[in-house]
Structure 1
């Protein structure tokens, strides 16, 4: 999974109608604006530390960062921007969207300063292990293709995901800040095979065309919370994306945009429905924040 995704993201821009999938920041500017508003509010209630920095993990085309930073800058945030991205193709797109950013290969390279960090659909792409009973499920070369070496009731773990969350949490505990994670997943650890592949906006067999399709798994948010609290931070409640965006006032933002652009009213309403509707992205995607004990809770997650 790690090798396939490294090649996949390193060799293409997979986003949008011409790619394999569409993420929330590409649906509407309002998504990034809500993220920026929540971070700005939290930063100000924490005393507006001047040395705070904005960081994003796997920032796609830079769309979310650009929209969030527009709101943050308007609130007086003047900190540096740090993007963790290994794909040269996506770095080129991010350079067009976010001026003055500093790029890193790894979370460990982010400076030790107060953090306003975002990971939107980042944790789902980190590699997992699957277990059938006590035996690890592995991938074999068989009959000219790839196959799993065993079947049965599957349990998933992700040491890479827990390590990433722990590294972020250690920085937050030491220097202050908040990290916001938005992803599809489940609230409680439970057995089940959630590994999936997406290509051309549809699901594909997970072992087909290695490196040519996006591989993800559902995020175990209970495990995320354990990793965060174990490193000295506070994990918020888990809420749906729709509930969170509505609590932040995405409807009011859409109304304001529609008042200034009357010809876009239907388009904006459709965007809100896509982001918040229970039958679209609103219920599938979940939101959790982890924070330094010295920082306030992020709005909408109390």
Structure 2
């Protein structure tokens, strides 16, 4: 039994079953044993691979998207370029490299990273050496003045609570102990508070309070101070029901309760609800678009072609494979699940990627 699993078992024995959100928070962010606090989980040698690790093209296009927005904002002399959950720093590094061609952008932009993992901060510092990033523990600390915020696979890792409709009404789904002392799912005997949602018995309803709060916070900031935010993640464009909690280890799915702290835990993002809170906070809403449509609209084919012209045969094969993985459906592609949602100050023009507006050719 892992150290964190033993700690969670002891906690449940002392206090009783815990909610899904608390379990996720411990498994991912426990200060000593949390999954993200102790390792670099990205890439082929880790547990999963994200779009920035698949190809530099992803970050380059998002970087030029950000620079285009900066120009549309009137090219303010000071801009915070913020990334939420920056992984290894790969996305930000690719964004900064691609935007060197934009006059004045690097002079105006300061890099701010919201990251709580000491292990990942160390990796980001190495990747972004020379860029002088500033780290923050919370989103609120990173937001100040005009800002462009980027979050790739960030919302899916935020803890949420789950509720199950029973013949007696909604009951919170909990993590407790079975008769052998192992972690097991169960339901609360009573419901605290009201959940005004109708559904058949057996339905699972997910309440992503933390994600909704962060999106509302970011939306309120860009609406008042200027700028935009881009959220890229897997999930649904329309709200629905269902248990989306999953665990990933060594690029395969595992039992979410088997090895807390040793496997990644994620949930699907409800983009419709994220958009609703963004609108309520005063921001303009763009999307959600599929990752495929977004990247194609930004000029992914043209970028792939430009890179291939300068590549050898092996490199061209890798570029083609990465291109397919970023936009193709199916088990190996990202097109089916991944969505892109942007929030912006209302006075900005239509944003690239959502109105079929292409970015300038990068060569």
Q: TM-score interval w.r.t. the shorter chain?
A: over 0.9
Deviation string 1:147-202 (CA, Å, 9 cap, x unpaired) is 11139321111100001111111211111101000000001111111110000100
**1:71 shift after superposition:** 2.1
**SS in structure 2 at match of 1:48:** coil
Structure 1: where are the runs of 5+ without partners? none
Q: Distance in 1 between matches of 2:349 and 2:63?
A: 16
Given the alignment of the two structures, is residue 41 of structure 1 paired with residue 68 of structure 2, yes or no? yes
**4+ runs of 1 displaced by more than 6 Å?**
none
CA distance in 2, matches of 1:297, 1:172: 15
Distance 1:197 1:51 in 2: 40
CA contact 1:42–1:297 (8 Å) conserved in 2: no
Give me the whole-angstrom Cα distance separating, in 1, the residues matched to 2:348 and 2:115.
Answer: 27
Which residue of structure 2 aligns with residue 137 of structure 1? 173
Q: 1:274 aligns with which of 316, 321, 325?
A: 325
Q: Which residue of the other structure, out of 115, 119, 125, is the alignment partner of 1:95? A: 125
Q: Mind listing any 5+ residue stretches in structure 2 that lack a counterpart? A: 1-23, 188-200, 356-363
User: Number of residue pairs matched?
Assistant: 302
Of residues 60, 74, 88, the one that matches 1:61 is: 88
Match of 2:190 in 1: none
2:265 corresponding residue in structure 1: 215
1:212 & 1:261 partners in 2: Cα distance? 38
Q: Give runs of aligned pairs for residues 1-302 of structure 1, distance below 5 A.
A: 1-6=24-29, 7-76=34-103, 77-78=105-106, 79-98=109-128, 99-133=131-165, 134-142=170-178, 143-150=180-187, 152-263=202-313, 264-279=315-330, 280-302=333-355
Q: Distance in 2 between matches of 1:74 and 1:58?
A: 26
Inter-partner Cα distance in structure 2 for 1:48 and 1:89: 35
RMSD: 1.2
Alpha-carbon distance change, 118 to 237 in structure 1, aligned in 2, over 3 angstroms: same
Measure how far apart 1:229 and its partner are: 0.8
C-alpha distance in 1, partners of 2:227/2:93? 20
Q: TM-score, normalised by structure 1?
A: 0.97
What SS does structure 1 have at the residue aligned with 2:81?
A: strand
Distance 1:72 1:178 in 2: 17
User: How far 1:228 moved relative to its partner?
Assistant: 0.6
TM-score when scaled to structure 2? 0.81
